[in-house]
């Protein structure tokens, strides 16, 4: 290939690659430390307009009133529109929820309309707080200690993405900001971060309910830059 043509193609290729990684994402480089990767993931989650959020656990400890699942859209207002599945009096109850302006509105079973509730009464977090830059997962990412980079795995749609695992520990006081019922002094955490620097999944393991055994909550973040106007009902 003539040198002049090669000289033209190289910058064009670089420009094309830059365009493919648009949307405000900062690709993770091999030179970055785990702390730098998680700091970038924290910024990305703080700055996105919204994400599809899922929180779940396989089972709650016996006798515990708490949340087993949350699904919905979380925005940077912060706000949330979705459903919570709560174990209450031994029964799984699915509750539509809108959380906005520091108030959680829920459609309580066997009642009409929406009611203002304190999610802590049901062992549940305010779902809008999960993406709050000051108290949610953006803050957890930067407070994680003893960080170690693990293996890369396939994930995402059709397993088309390369995700890197990072493990560490998070102070109980930080986790309590996200899930108020948390009572452990420290929690083990495993993150999955995409090549674009986006947090895709977090597994938190520890004591989430006083007097109970350790358990794991898995929180997933998909569809970054989702837009949704969430208002009180």
Tens-place pLDDT, residues 75-114? 999 999 999 999 877 888 999 999 999 999 999 888 889 9
Three-class DSSP category at 12:
helix
**What integer pLDDT is reported at residue 159 of this predicted model?**
79
Query: Model confidence at 212, in pLDDT bands (50, 70, 90)?
Result: very high
User: CB–CB of 106/96 below 8 Å?
Assistant: yes
Domain ranges of the chain: 31-222
**What integer pLDDT is reported at residue 6 of this predicted model?**
39
Query: Model confidence at 11, in pLDDT bands (50, 70, 90)?
Result: very low
Does the structure show a pLDDT above 60 at 19? no
Query: Model confidence at 231, in pLDDT bands (50, 70, 90)?
Result: very high
Query: Model confidence at 189, in pLDDT bands (50, 70, 90)?
Result: very high
Segment 48-69, tens digit of pLDDT: 999 999 999 998 988 888 999 9
**What integer pLDDT is reported at residue 131 of this predicted model?**
92
The span from the CA of 164 to the CA of 170, in Å, is 19
- What is the value of pTM for the model shown? 0.85
Segment 137-170, tens digit of pLDDT: 999 999 999 999 999 988 777 778 899 999 999 9
Helix or strand (DSSP H, E) at 205? strand 199-206
User: CB–CB of 26/180 below 8 Å?
Assistant: no
**What integer pLDDT is reported at residue 223 of this predicted model?**
96
Of the options 3.40.30.10, 2.50.20.20, 3.40.1080.10, 1.10.1060.10, the CATH number for the domain spanning 31-222: 2.50.20.20
């Amino acid at each position: 290939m003539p040198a002049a043509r090669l000289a033209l193609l190289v910058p064009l290729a670089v420009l094309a690659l830059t365009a493919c990684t648009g949307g405000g994402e900062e690709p993770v480089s091999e030179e970055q430390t785990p702390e730098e990767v998680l700091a970038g993931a924290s910024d990305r989650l703080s700055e996105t307009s919204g994400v599809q959020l899922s929180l779940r656990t396989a089972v709650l400890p016996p006798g515990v009133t708490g949340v087993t699942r949350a699904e919905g859209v979380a925005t940077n207002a912060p706000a949330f529109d979705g459903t919570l599945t709560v174990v209450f009096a031994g029964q799984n109850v699915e509750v539509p929820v809108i959380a906005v302006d520091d108030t959680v509105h829920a459609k309580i079973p066997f009642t009409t309309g929406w009611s203002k509730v304190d999610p802590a009464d049901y062992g549940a977090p305010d779902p809008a707080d999960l993406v709050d830059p000051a108290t949610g997962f953006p803050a957890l990412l930067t407070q994680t200690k003893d960080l170690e980079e693990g293996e890369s795995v396939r994930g995402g749609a059709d397993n088309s993405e390369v995700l890197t695992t990072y493990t560490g520990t998070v102070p109980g006081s930080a986790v309590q900001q996200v899930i108020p019922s948390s009572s452990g002094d420290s929690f083990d955490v495993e993150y999955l971060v995409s090549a674009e620097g986006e947090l895709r999944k977090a597994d938190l393991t520890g004591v989430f309910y006083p007097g109970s055994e350790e358990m794991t909550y898995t929180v997933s973040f998909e569809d970054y830059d989702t837009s949704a106007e969430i208002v009180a009902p």
